Amino acid sequence: MSQTETRVGVGDSVLDKMLGGGLPRNRAVLVTGGPGTGKSTLAMQFLQAGLDADEDCLYVSTEQTLDELHDAFSSFTFDIDHDHLTFVSIHATPGQTIEGDDELTLQSLDDQEILGPGFDAPFTGEYIRQYLERYVPCDRVVFDSTSGLSAISSDENLYRRTVLDLVRFFSDDAGATTLLTAEAHGTDSLTGSDLLRFTSHGVIELSRRTVRSDTHRFLEVSKMRGVDHDHRSMELEITPDGVRVGPLRRSQPPALKDHRHAPVGIPGLDALCGGGLVRGAGVLLQHDGQANLAALFSVLLAHAFETDHTVLLVPTIALRQSRVESLLGGHGLALDELLAEDRLFVVDLIGAWDQSVPNVYGPRERGDDLTDLISDLDNRTDRDRFHIVNADAVTHAFGDEEARRVRYFEEAQLVEDDDTLLHVSNPDTIGDQIGAFYRNAADQVLDVWMEEDGLQYVTLRKSPCGFVGTTSLVEYVEEPPYLRVQYPPQTRENPYACE
């Protein structure tokens, strides 16, 4: 059975892509969220997708009557009178059971007796299952919501077993793919979703948040066993057709593509960026001053030389001469040879290099002096160029206004279509306005930082292509390129790449 055949669509293309093709067939997935977040709408849309595929669907409600369900869905385009759709409503009501005991009894709203005329069944998992057996087998089930089962017992273990037994019943006996809904983190733990998160095959979380004083709905797939699912938070809109998850894309569609990008030799980073760093425009690498960027720079430099580029380096303090020599040596490259062959030019604004070495140039007095020098160096090569520029050093050496002029000059006068222009900056070391300027001027922005536990990450903040908003782990490996960046989800079918 193919991957596609093992998944069932939810009814929204973006959510299906986030899930790797849809929900896993014959498994139970929990949809959790507060009131009004769209749980029931998403659940009914899931059933509508099944009806459209000529499947048998069952909607079990523990909180609404059949009339209330019809009223709730009447404003949507759902086919609530479809021949293959069955609505069932069950709830607990005080009464007298067949044993003569006064306790909660199981009541349905479809006028069908559970035990027989005049007899009430106890509100237990056993009798709920016995009642639901008359509606199976079926292909899809919605159980809305599990909080309605909390009346069974105040014992959490009994409640958990009851829900698990129902899940197994739907999956095994009914042969169905099941959506369970639950309130998120209720004050009563039995009405919340906490008990189901660990036992469900997957968890989809719905929420409300305020964005610039307006309330928006959000969706996040927090768990899906066996699937490299999309972990990002997405917006959820309620439409006449159900829910719409967006954005459809976080980067421009291929039809509007007006850029090129170049791989940098780190497969996960290239995938994250939709093919690599943008060519012919500015790229900004922001860091927190804690992240170790030496290995990343070594890969960028080595790959540039291996792809026949000439490199212009305005080094950071971490890229002092001895360090660059060592980093290049790890890739089998000799620093002195690259300098002698006009493959590498260094403009050292911080005094970390020996300026008596050929093609190493010291600080400039004015920004114009720097642009004149860079222009002269660019004219000394016919190769494509890869510029790595310490934006902080430029700002500190010449001030904000001169730094802006240098940045404009680089992209407007020097960078051609196949060239790469990478600025490196720690926003904490420069002013907010010049930092915002560099971010605004860049076509692509990457953030690299280190957490307190020593884990290092990279996020694609801005880009015309790639997984904008995705965060990937950065780690060191023993073999070239000595650096691994975690692949974003769905790399094989990247919906955000501009191929």
Q: How many Cβ atoms sit within 10 Å of the Cβ of residue 240?
A: 8
How far apart CA 458 and CA 285 sit, in angstroms, is 10
Cα–Cα separations (whole angstroms), residue 394 to 133, 316, 422: 74, 10, 13
Question: Rg of the chain's alpha carbons, rounded to an integer?
Answer: 30
Structure tokens at 213: 């004083």
The predicted-structure confidence for 354-400, as pLDDT tens digits, reads as follows 999 999 999 999 999 999 999 999 999 999 999 999 999 999 999 99
Q: How many Cβ atoms sit within 10 Å of the Cβ of residue 483?
A: 19
HEC secondary structure over 176-242: CEEEEEEECCCCCCCCCCHHHHCCCCEEEEEEEEEECCEEEEEEEEEEECCCCCCCCCEEEEEECCE
DSSP states of 103-167: EEEEEESSS--SSSTT-BEESSHHHHHHHHGGG-S-SEEEEE-GGGGGGG-S-HHHHHHHHHHHH
**pLDDT classification of 187: cutoffs 50, 70, 90:** very low
Structure tokens at 370: 């720097």
Structure tokens at 325: 């020599």
Average pLDDT of the chain to the nearest whole number: 87
Residue 299 three-state SS = helix
How far apart CA 394 and CA 407 sit, in angstroms, is 9
Whether 272 and 466 have beta carbons less than 8 Å apart is answered as: yes
pTM: 0.72
Q: What is the pLDDT of residue 445?
A: 98
Q: What is the pLDDT of residue 249?
A: 74
Residue whose C-alpha is closest to residue 144's, from 45, 255, 2, 292: 45
The predicted-structure confidence for 316-348, as pLDDT tens digits, reads as follows 988 999 999 999 999 999 999 999 999 999 999
Whether 393 and 320 have beta carbons less than 8 Å apart is answered as: no
